[in-house]
Amino acid sequence: MSAWMLGPVLIPAISAVILLFLARRSIGVHRFVSVIGTLSGVGVSLGLLLTTLDGTRSVVSMGDWPVPFGIVFVVDRLSATMLVLTGLVALGALGAALRGWDERGRNFHALFQFQLMGVSGAFLTGDIFNLFVFFEILLISAYGLLLHSGGKERIRAGLRFVILNLVGSTFFVIALALVYGSTGTLNMAALSAGSWSGPVWQVAMGLLLVVFGLKAAAVPLHFWLPESYSAAPAPVAVLFAVLTKVGLYAIIRVYGLSVGLDALTPVIFGAGAVGIIVGAVGALASRGMREMVGWLVIGSVSTAMLAIGVGGPEGLSAALYYALHSTLVTGALFLLAEIVTEQRSGDSLESGPRLSRHAMVSGLFLLAAMEFAGLPPTSGFVGKLSVLTATAPGAGPGWIAVILVGGLLALITLSRAGSALFWNVDDAQSSTGPVPVTQLLPVVWLLGLSLALMVFSGPVLDFLGDAASQALDTHTYARDVLSTVGGRE
Amino acid sequence: MILGVSLVVAVLVGTGLFLTLRERSFETILGLSLLTYAANVLLFASGGLVAGSAPILHSAEPMPDPIPQALVLTAIVISFAMTAFVLVLALKSWYAMDTDGVDGEEP
C-alpha cells in the first residue's frame, strides 16, 4: 500500500527521466512514454481514491523515519479527489498537446511529467517544507511550459510570471523559517497537535496566506493570471487551471491543520466575495477570449474561496464540487479559445469569419457557457446551488446577491462572447482551414467529465461532504499521522 | 548576535524588495537574489543561534539544530537554480524585445 501511495509522484518522475534520456528520439517516442506515464498515474490515483472511500487515511513515512521527524505522505479523501482531478485534466491537456504543440519546442513532455509530479506531490505531502519543494518543482515546470514555443508575447508574459513567483517562493521560505522558529516542527500533524501563539507564529501564518493566495489567484493577488494564461499555449493553460486549485488545497490543508479554518473565515470570505465581482467585471472588460477565460478562472476560484470562508463542512464540500467543475469547464473554454485563435488568427471578441465545423464548435461553446454560468441542469448549476445553500445559513442571505450578480455578469460575458464569435459571422471572410476532429476530442473529454459530474452529482456531493468532514477533522488527522509506526523494529 | 542577524535580514529584504520593483530586468534579478539570501539567512537563524557550540554531538555540550541547516541547503539549491533560469530568461527577453525593461518596453 505504501508503495502505491508514492505512485502519483514516482510515475511522472520516472517518465520524465526516461523522456530526458530519450530526448533525441522522435516525438512519437516521447508521446508514447508520456501517454503511458499519464495513464498509469491516473490509474494509481483512481486506485488511491477507491481506498479512501471508507474513510481510511493512509500514511507513509519516507525512509521509515519516526513520524514527527520524517516526511510523511498522507492520502485521504481530499487528497485523492484532487489527485484524480489532476490526472483527468492532464489527460485532456495531453490530448490537446499531441496535436502539434509538443513539437514546437523542446522537452515538452518531460516538463509536462515534472509538472504532474509537482502537483501530485503537493497534494500528497504532510510536511510543509516538502510542500515548498513540490511547489518549486511544479513552478519551474510551469515556467518551462509557459515559455514553450517562444515568441515575444510569451517571453514577456513568462518573465513577469517567473519574477512574481520567485518573490512568492521567497516569501514561502521566510514563512517556513518563522514557522520552524516558533514551533520547532514542520510536520502538519505535529503543528495541528500543538497550540501555538505569539507574534512570530501569527506573522508566519499571515505570510503563508499571502503565498497560497498568490498561487490561487485570490484577490488582490490575482493580477498576474489573465496575462499569463492568455500567453500560455492552450494545453498548458488547461493544466494551469489545476495550479490554482493547488493554492486552494494548500490553504485548506495547512490552515485547517495549523490554526483551523475558522480563524481565517472573514479574510477568505471577503477575498472571495470581492473576487467574484472583480473576476466578472474583468471578464466583461476583456478584448480577447483567452483573457476572458482567465478572468473567469479568477471568478471561479473566488467563488470556491467564498464557500470555504463560510465555514463548516457544507461550505467546504460546496467549494470542492465547484472547484472540480470549474477546472474542467475553464479547461474546455481554453481549448475552444485555441480553436477560435487558430481559425481566425486571433481571439478578439468581434465578428469575423465563420469557423469550420461551426455547429460542433459553437455547440461545445454553448455547453461550456451553460456549465460555467450555472444554467440547470448542468454541473455548474449544482455547484452554484451548493455554494448558495451553504452561504445562506452560514453568512447571511445578503451575500447570495454577490454570487448571483457575479453569475449574471458571467452569463452576460459569455453570451456576448458567443454571439460575437459564432453569430455575427462575416461570411465575406474565410477562416483558415478545417478544424480536425482531434482538436475537438479533448474539449469533448473535459465537457464529458463535467457532464458526468452532473449526472452523478448526488454520489459526488455525498463523497465530497465526507471529504470535507474528514479534512476538517484535525484530531483524527493528527492521531492517524502521529501514531504511524516509524523506525526500524 | 540575534540583533545583528535580524538587521542583516532586514537590510537584505529591504534592498531586495526595492530592487525587485525596478524597471530593468537585471536590477530585478539582483533584488531577487538578495531576497533569497535573506530567506536563507533567516532559515539558518530560525534554529537558534548558539555561539561556541559543538558541530557534532559531543557529550553534554549544546549542539546546533541540524534541521535548519538541511533546510538552508535545499533552499540555496532551489534558489540558485531559479536565479540561473531567470537570468537566461531575461537574456532571451532582451534579445527578443531589444530592451531589458521588465514590461517589454524601454523604461
Is the CB of B42 less than 8 angstroms away from the CB of A162? Answer: no
- Is B25's Cβ below 8 Å from some Cβ in A? yes
A474 in Cβ contact with A194 (< 8 Å): no
Look at residue B79 and give its three-state secondary structure. Answer: helix
d(C-alpha A258, C-alpha A178), whole Å:
14
d(C-alpha A299, C-alpha A273), whole Å:
9
What is the DSSP secondary structure assignment for residue A147, as one 8-state letter? T
CA atoms within a 13 Å half-sphere pointing along the CA-CB vector of A42: 15
What does the pLDDT read at residue A488?
38
- Is B15's Cβ below 8 Å from some Cβ in A? no
Express the helix, strand and coil content of chain B in percent, nearest 5 each: 65, 0, 30
- Which chain B residues have a beta carbon less than 8 Å from that of A143? 85, 89
Residue A489 has pLDDT above 70, yes or no: no
**Nearest-CA residue of chain A relative to B35?**
A170
- Is B47's Cβ below 8 Å from some Cβ in A? yes
- Is B33's Cβ below 8 Å from some Cβ in A? no
- Is B39's Cβ below 8 Å from some Cβ in A? yes
Least confident of A146-155, A269-278, B47-56: B47-56
d(C-alpha A25, C-alpha A10), whole Å:
23
CA atoms within a 13 Å half-sphere pointing along the CA-CB vector of A49: 18
d(C-alpha B43, C-alpha A93), whole Å:
38
Is the CB of B35 less than 8 angstroms away from the CB of A160? Answer: no
* CA of residue A162 relative to chain centroid, distance: 18
Q: How far is A167 from chain B (nearest CA, A)?
A: 7
Average pLDDT over residues A393-403: 81
Which among A143, A159, A180 has CB closest to B93? A159
Is the CB of A166 less than 8 angstroms away from the CB of B96? Answer: no
φ, ψ dihedrals at A348, nearest 5°:
-70, 145
* Dihedral over Cα of A363, A364, A368, A374: its sign: positive
φ, ψ dihedrals at A429, nearest 5°:
-95, 160
Q: Tell me: the pLDDT tens digits for A342-365?
A: 888 777 777 777 777 778 888 999
What does the pLDDT read at residue B60?
64
**Nearest-CA residue of chain A relative to B39?**
A174
Quickly tell me which residue has 454560468 as its cell.
Answer: A373
- Is B74's Cβ below 8 Å from some Cβ in A? yes
**pLDDT cut 90: percent of chain A above it:** 62
* Dihedral over Cα of A343, A349, A352, A358: its sign: positive
Q: Tell me: the pLDDT tens digits for A29-60?
A: 999 999 999 999 999 999 999 998 888 888 88
Is the CB of A173 less than 8 angstroms away from the CB of B81? Answer: no
- Which chain A residues have a beta carbon less than 8 Å from that of B82? 136, 140, 166, 169
Cβ-based contacts under 8 A for chains A and B: 94
Residues of A with CB under 8 A from a CB of B: 129, 133, 136, 140, 143, 147, 150, 152, 155-156, 158-160, 162-163, 166-167, 169-170, 173-174, 176-178, 180-181, 186
d(C-alpha A277, C-alpha A320), whole Å:
20
Is the CB of A177 less than 8 angstroms away from the CB of B78? Answer: no
Q: Tell me: the pLDDT tens digits for A136-194?
A: 999 999 999 999 988 888 999 999 999 999 999 999 999 999 999 999 889 998 888 88
Of B100 and A1, the one with more pLDDT: B100
Q: How far is A377 from chain B (nearest CA, A)?
A: 44
What does the pLDDT read at residue A439?
86
Q: How far is B56 from chain A (nearest CA, A)?
A: 19
Average pLDDT over residues A414-419: 90
Among B23, B46, B98, most A C-beta atoms within 10 A, so best to mutate, is B46
Residue A487 has pLDDT above 60, yes or no: no
Q: Is A432 exposed, middle or buried (0-12, 13-18, 19+ CB in 10 A)?
A: exposed
Confidence of residue A485 (pLDDT cuts 50, 70, 90): low
Q: Tell me: the pLDDT tens digits for A319-336?
A: 999 999 999 999 999 999
What does the pLDDT read at residue B58?
67
**Rounded to the nearest 5 degrees, what angle is found at the Cα of A101, between the Cα atoms of A100 and A105?**
115
Residue A455 has pLDDT above 70, yes or no: yes
Average pLDDT over residues B60-84: 88
Is the CB of A133 less than 8 angstroms away from the CB of B36? Answer: no
ipTM of the complex: 0.94
Of A428 and A396, the one with more pLDDT: A396
Q: Which residues pair with A125 in a beta bridge?
A: A73
A109 in Cβ contact with A34 (< 8 Å): yes
Q: Tell me: the pLDDT tens digits for A241-261?
A: 999 999 999 999 998 888 888
Q: Tell me: the pLDDT tens digits for A306-315?
A: 999 888 899 9
Is the CB of A174 less than 8 angstroms away from the CB of B38? Answer: yes
- Which chain B residues have a beta carbon less than 8 Å from that of A178? 42, 46
Q: How far is B59 from chain A (nearest CA, A)?
A: 22
